[in-house]
Chain A
């Protein structure tokens, strides 16, 4: 089993739709979680950190479920500009840090 797993997609949804995808992780001791967005042939950019209580930033909502070991990203009222690959990141810090990226979920918004 991979340490961090994402559904590769692609998710193809119409503009204005709501879309959600999950990211599962295997190490229950994982401490910090993030969502990054990566456009084609560009570098990843931080979208949002994921807090235990869940957090929202405009049309984006991130949640953490420690019991089931997954994080989720919900995008409401999707825009054409939301088309990208969404990467989840899981980190673990003990004597040294461990940072693991998922392989990403591709999202395509159609007009």
Chain B
């Protein structure tokens, strides 16, 4: 079974530039997540999609970050404009939707390592 795919794997940009990341979840997984992981910390959930609807985006800095999941499959996460503190690994994960149980066995992609200079 193919895993979660992400691209690019690495990106270096200057502050105030924009950047976009792409994620393709495991086939059949209705739920998709974007996380930000800063060095030395655990992943922080930015946004969660159920099919193409947003379940939770409470920690997404909406003034600069945006995400979409058209057609309920692939997703893109965009940062515009980037700041130095956005330097992190951006992880995409997917899971099956198991009703309203709060059970999410998530499978992660390899991540995109973003460096903002």
Contact = CB atoms under 8 A, between A and B. Distances in A.
Q: Chain A: interface secondary structure?
A: strand
Contacts of A45: 108
A91 B103 contact: yes
Contacts of A46: 105-107
Contacts of A34: 105
Interface string B72-113: 000000000000000000010000000011111111111100
A103 B105 contact: no
B109 A43 contact: yes
B56 interface: yes
A32 B102 contact: yes
A53 to B, nearest CB: 15
Contact residue range for chain B? 20 to 34
Nearest to A29: B102
Contacts of A101: 35, 42-45
A92 B28 CA distance: 23
B101 A32 contact: yes
Contact of A43 (B33, B42, B110): B110
Given A97-B56, A99-B45, A103-B40, A44 B101 contact: no
Interface of B: 33, 35, 40-45, 48, 55-56, 58, 91, 100-111
